[in-house]
Every structure is written in structure tokens, then in C-alpha cells.
């Protein structure tokens, strides 16, 4: 009876694993067989209260029952592995079994043992499956050429025309003028001569005043030319750098300028007194405002004569 139950469980093992059949009934029968074997295997002596084996064949029954329990345990273990709370999980084994039942093509034991009949069965099953599936799949039929397939020539890629970027037209290159050292030295000498003349003009005006100094704006500003005014300021900076002139502020904050005597210059050099310089800026509007307020009429520093005038 135990062997029969074991064969039945092995035959329907896939159905037990998939959950289609439950193990409640086989477990109940197994428990009954185990209780029956237990009652037959042991006899209890009322006087000595000793438990003895009655027959050797009962041991075989116990081993069969244990094998039956082991088989059921394996089924439960496999069932636990494939169990998922999501009911929409696809199980291939379950799907194939449902297909077999749907087409009513149950396979007998003889057909399973016979390879030829088994192959015929599966070929019929696949054909039937394809016929019914074709009706439910709304796809276009395959297209076949009447004279066989043609070798399709790959389309040649169309080359895209690159956009030509026009470079900015460069103007005719102008070769830089070669610097002549002689001309530079001549210009430098002219600048020093001009600065020396300005120093002599300053000394002449300062000697005529009681303060021994003159207003800086009155001395450098040319009311007739803004460019000559800037040139005068530029040349005065050379004299200031060399320590030949001195600029200071009066009580009203206006800048005054005076010449520095050679004795004073030597004394400052002996005392290691550094010459301090400051930055002065003047715009065209400021130049006009100073001329209007101070009412300058003539320039203290006369304009430089051109080379053509000097040659005459």
C-alpha cells in the first residue's frame, strides 16, 4: 500500500509542485500507514514493561514509510522555492501542463515509453498550437518572392555638403617701421632740451615773485591748446623726477611749483630724502573750467617752434 502511494506521488509530482494538487490526502494516508506499522512493530509486555521488535519485516515497512515522507518533504521544499505572493508570475512548467490539458492530448504510459509515438504526439501538438495561435496573433503574413530572394543592394550613403566657412579677409599686412636708434636719440635730446628750457623759464618767473614760487596751473596751462598743456605737464614730470623742481600745496590746497637750487639738491641727497611723486589727471572739461575761473590769457611756456621754422 505504501509503495502504491509512493508511485502515485511520483507520477503527479509536477502537479503537486505547481500547486494543482495538494498533499493533504497523501499525508493523511502516510500517517495512517505509519500508525499501523507502529502498532504492528512493537508489542508491550505488561509485566516487564519492555518494548521488543516482533518481526523483521516491520523494519522494511518503516523504511518505506520514511522514504514516502522524504519524497513528500522534497515536493514541499520545491513548492516553497517556486512560491511567490504575486499571482501574475509566469511558470513555464504550469503553462505547458495547461496546454496539454487544453488540447486534450493526454500522454499514456505506453506513448511515453515509445519514442516514435512520442515524437508524433509532440509534432501534432506543435502543429495544433501553431494553428490556433495564428488566429489570435494579428500580424501581417510573411512576404515571399516568387523567384526566390533578391540580393538587396545597400543604399549608398549621401554625402552631406560641408558648409564652407569663409575666413575673415585679412587686410594687407603693414610691415612695422624699423626703429632707428639715431632718431630715438635725437628725439630724446630734443625732449631734454625742451625740459631744460622749461626749467629756465620757471626760474625766471619764480625770481620775480615774492613767494619764490608760481601756481602750477598758471605755469603749465596753455589757454589756446589742450594738447600743449598736456605736453607741458609731461615735461614737468621729468624735472620733478630728477629733483630739479618741487611742487607743494598752499593753505587753499592749490598746487604751487618752484625750482630747486643745486645746493638744496645736494643737501637732500646728503640727507637721503626721497623724491615723492603723485598722479595728476586733467580732462578737457577740467582744462576749460580752470581757464574760465582763473582767466588765463597767455601761456607762460611758449609753444615749441616747428623744424621748418627753425631751418628758416
Closest CA relative to residue 29, chosen from 60, 58, 71, 82: 71
Instruction: List, for the chain, all residue ranges whose pLDDT scores fall below the cut of 70.
Output: 1, 34, 37-38, 40-62, 64-65, 82-90, 103-119, 121-122, 139-154, 165-188, 271-278, 306-312
Q: What is the pLDDT of residue 226?
A: 92
Q: What is the pLDDT of residue 173?
A: 55
Find out whether 221 and 233 touch, Cβ atoms under 8 Å.
no
Please, what's the b/e burial string for 294-309 (b: 16 or more CB within 10 A of its CB; e: otherwise)? Answer: eebeebbbeeeeeeee
Q: What is the pLDDT of residue 171?
A: 52
Find out whether 305 and 232 touch, Cβ atoms under 8 Å.
no
Q: What is the pLDDT of residue 207?
A: 86
Q: What is the pLDDT of residue 109?
A: 54
Q: What is the pLDDT of residue 155?
A: 72
Domain locations along the chain: 1-42+59-82, 209-270+279-306
- Return the H-helix or E-strand segment holding 255: strand 255-259
Please give, one letter per residue, the 3-state secondary structure of 109-141.
HHHHHCHHHHHHHHHHHHHHHHHHHHHHCCCCC
> How far apart are the C-alpha atoms of 10 and 97, rounded to whole Å?
16
**Sequence-separated (6 or more) residues with CB below 8 Å from residue 214:** 202, 205, 206, 256, 257, 258, 300
Amino acid at each position: 500500500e505504501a509503495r502504491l502511494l509512493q508511485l502515485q506521488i511520483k507520477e503527479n509530482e509536477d502537479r503537486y509542485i505547481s500547486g494543482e494538487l495538494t498533499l493533504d490526502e497523501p499525508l493523511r494516508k502516510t500517517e495512517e500507514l505509519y500508525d499501523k506499522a507502529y502498532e504492528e512493530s512493537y508489542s508491550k509486555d505488561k509485566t516487564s514493561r519492555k518494548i521488543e521488535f516482533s518481526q523483521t519485516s516491520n523494519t522494511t515497512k518503516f523504511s518505506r514509510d520514511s522514504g514516502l515522507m522524504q519524497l513528500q518533504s522534497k515536493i514541499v521544499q520545491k513548492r516553497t522555492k517556486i512560491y511567490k505572493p504575486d499571482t501574475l508570475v509566469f511558470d513555464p512548467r504550469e503553462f505547458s501542463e495547461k496546454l496539454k490539458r487544453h488540447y486534450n492530448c493526454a500522454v499514456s504510459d505506453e506513448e511515453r515509453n515509445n519514442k516514435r509515438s512520442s515524437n508524433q504526439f509532440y509534432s501534432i501538438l506543435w502543429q495544433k498550437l501553431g494553428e490556433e495561435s495564428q488566429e489570435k496573433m494579428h500580424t501581417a503574413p510573411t512576404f515571399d518572392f516568387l523567384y526566390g530572394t533578391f540580393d538587396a543592394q545597400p543604399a549608398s550613403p549621401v554625402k552631406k555638403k560641408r558648409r564652407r566657412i569663409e575666413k575673415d579677409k585679412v587686410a594687407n599686412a603693414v610691415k612695422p617701421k624699423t626703429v632707428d636708434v639715431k632718431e630715438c636719440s635725437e628725439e630724446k635730446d630734443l625732449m631734454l632740451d625742451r625740459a631744460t628750457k622749461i626749467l629756465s623759464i620757471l626760474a625766471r618767473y619764480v625770481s620775480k615773485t615774492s613767494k619764490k614760487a608760481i601756481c602750477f596751473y598758471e605755469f603749465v596751462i596753455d589757454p589756446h591748446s589742450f594738447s600743449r598743456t598736456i605736453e607741458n605737464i609731461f615735461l614737468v614730470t621729468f624735472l620733478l623726477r630728477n629733483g630739479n623742481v618741487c611742487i607743494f600745496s598752499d593753505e587753499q590746497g592749490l598746487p604751487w611749483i618752484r625750482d630747486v637750487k643745486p645746493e638744496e639738491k645736494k643737501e637732500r641727497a646728503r640727507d637721503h630724502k626721497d623724491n615723492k611723486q603723485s598722479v595728476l589727471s586733467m580732462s578737457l572739461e577740467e582744462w576749460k573750467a580752470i581757464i574760465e575761473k582763473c582767466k588765463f590769457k597767455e601761456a607762460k611756456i611758449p609753444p615749441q617752434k616747428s623744424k621748418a621754422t627753425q631751418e628758416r
